[in-house]
């Protein structure tokens, strides 16, 4: 039986480019080479698509010096990637695309749309779930009918960004400081700030506006940060839970990736019923967003009443050494290689819009 070819796509133009490269290295080295051939495609920070031939180049960044262009076209007369070098063009067949892209153009439904147009099966959530899950305001609105507790919030749109006093008055009438200010579309806590007073709120809004024109200002939930991993399509499974112990005031980008004091705890002690509630809510949210493949769903458990509060969903979670998603599945007995094989095998099962094509 011939091996299938998987194209792993990483890097990208988002602020999470470097994290994507780290995740991709983990994914690539854990793809079962007895089952799959691997093609690596790196997208530079300026949006150039390059063929990558050396796994170590993914880690050290030297892949960006590559000379061969490698792109996926929306033209369905192709069934793979088009490679261009000094000798000309050649087409390479691929069976599955595996995007390991976080943030803008990778996790927000855009590249998923390209896969749909091309007719190439792909790993992970589709256009709708990716776009809605990446946008925090949209996610809140999708989850609201499920009667799952969420933090109260004020939405700030582009045309209101310069009406600061009006925005601040609304925030202060709704909940006390401190508040959290987040870009609606951003990942890895980029652009997220904690504001303890009105002046800090102004600074936080300015920072969030660097990442998106739609901003979320949330009440503070005092509690533990708990995460759950989800896997599936028609049938959805959830892991146990993990806890984030941030070595900072909150789990921002530096606390996640640059502070060795931040810890993750698998299967922490929780009050009776809380673990099951988190797992049930995680699967319900995944289904409501039309999730497919993988997602990590994040919650708070309040310190006083032990109430479960939904925070956000990540439809393309990290695969770094400190990433919760693969660690949670490993705790269930599903190690990285088997987990990645499952994700690849699921890709052709998707109910893609072209159904009978190819």
* Tens-digit pLDDT profile for residues 8-54: 999 999 988 999 999 999 999 999 999 999 999 999 999 999 999 99
User: Residue 249 CB: number of other CB atoms within 10 A?
Assistant: 10
For the stretch 193-219, pLDDT in tens is 999 999 999 999 999 998 888 999 999
Give the mean pLDDT of 128-141: 96
227 close to 299: Cβ distance less than 8 angstroms: yes
Per-residue confidence band for 160, with pLDDT thresholds at 50, 70 and 90? low
What's the confidence (pLDDT) of residue 144? Answer: 97
Per-residue confidence band for 251, with pLDDT thresholds at 50, 70 and 90? very low
For the stretch 174-189, pLDDT in tens is 999 999 999 998 765 6
- d(C-alpha 14, C-alpha 232), whole Å: 27
For the stretch 283-318, pLDDT in tens is 999 999 999 999 999 999 999 999 999 999 999 999
Give the mean pLDDT of 51-76: 95
How is the chain split into domains, by residue range? 4-123, 133-150+222-315, 153-219
Fold for 4-123, please state it: Rossmann fold (3.40.50)
276 close to 317: Cβ distance less than 8 angstroms: no
**Residue 162 reports pLDDT greater than 80:** no
Task: Name the strands in the sheet holding 263-266, side by side, starting at the edge strand that comes first in the sequence.
Answer: 263-266, 236-245, 223-232, 293-302, 308-314
293 close to 284: Cβ distance less than 8 angstroms: no
What's the confidence (pLDDT) of residue 56? Answer: 95
- Could you give the 3-state DSSP secondary structure of residue 293? strand
Q: Which residue has the tokens 């988190």?
A: 278
**Mean pLDDT for all residues in the chain:** 91
What's the confidence (pLDDT) of residue 257? Answer: 47
User: Residue 233 CB: number of other CB atoms within 10 A?
Assistant: 13
What's the confidence (pLDDT) of residue 259? Answer: 44
Write the class of the CATH domain 133-150+222-315: alpha beta
CATH of domain 153-219: 3.30.1490.20
């Amino acid at each position: 039986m011939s091996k299938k070819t998987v194209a792993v796509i990483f890097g990208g133009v988002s602020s999470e480019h470097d994290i994507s490269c780290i995740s991709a290295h983990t994914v690539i080295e854990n793809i079962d080479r007895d089952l799959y051939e691997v093609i690596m495609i790196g997208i530079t920070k300026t949006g150039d698509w390059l063929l990558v031939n050396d796994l170590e180049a993914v880690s050290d960044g030297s892949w960006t010096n590559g000379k061969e262009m490698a792109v996926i076209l929306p033209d369905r007369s192709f069934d793979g990637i088009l490679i261009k070098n000094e000798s000309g063009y050649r087409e390479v067949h691929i069976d599955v695309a595996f995007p390991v892209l976080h943030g803008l153009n990778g996790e927000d439904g855009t590249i998923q749309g390209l896969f749909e147009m091309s007719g190439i099966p792909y790993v992970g959530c589709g256009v709708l779930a990716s776009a809605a899950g990446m946008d925090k305001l949209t996610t809140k609105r999708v989850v609201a009918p499920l009667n799952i507790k969420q933090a109260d919030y004020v939405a700030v749109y582009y045309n209101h960004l310069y009406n600061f006093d009006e925005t601040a008055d609304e925030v202060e009438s709704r909940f006390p400081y401190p508040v959290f200010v987040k870009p609606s579309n951003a990942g890895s806590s980029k652009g997220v700030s904690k504001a303890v007073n009105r002046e800090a709120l102004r600074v936080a809004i300015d920072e969030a506006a660097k990442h998106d024109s739609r901003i979320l200002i949330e009440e503070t939930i005092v509690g533990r940060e708990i995460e759950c991993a989800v896997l599936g399509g028609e049938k959805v499974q959830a892991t146990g839970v993990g806890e984030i112990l941030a070595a900072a005031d909150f789990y921002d980008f530096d606390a996640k990736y640059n502070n060795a004091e931040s810890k993750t705890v698998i299967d922490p002690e929780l009050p009776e019923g809380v673990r099951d509630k988190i797992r049930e809510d995680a699967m319900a949210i995944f289904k409501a967003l039309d999730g497919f493949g993988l997602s990590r769903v994040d919650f708070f458990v309040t310190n006083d009443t032990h109430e479960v509060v939904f925070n956000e969903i990540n439809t393309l979670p990290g695969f770094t050494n400190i990433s919760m998603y693969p660690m949670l599945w490993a705790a269930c007995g599903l190690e990285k290689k088997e987990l990645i094989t499952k994700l690849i095998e699921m890709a052709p099962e998707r109910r893609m819009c072209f159904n009978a094509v190819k």
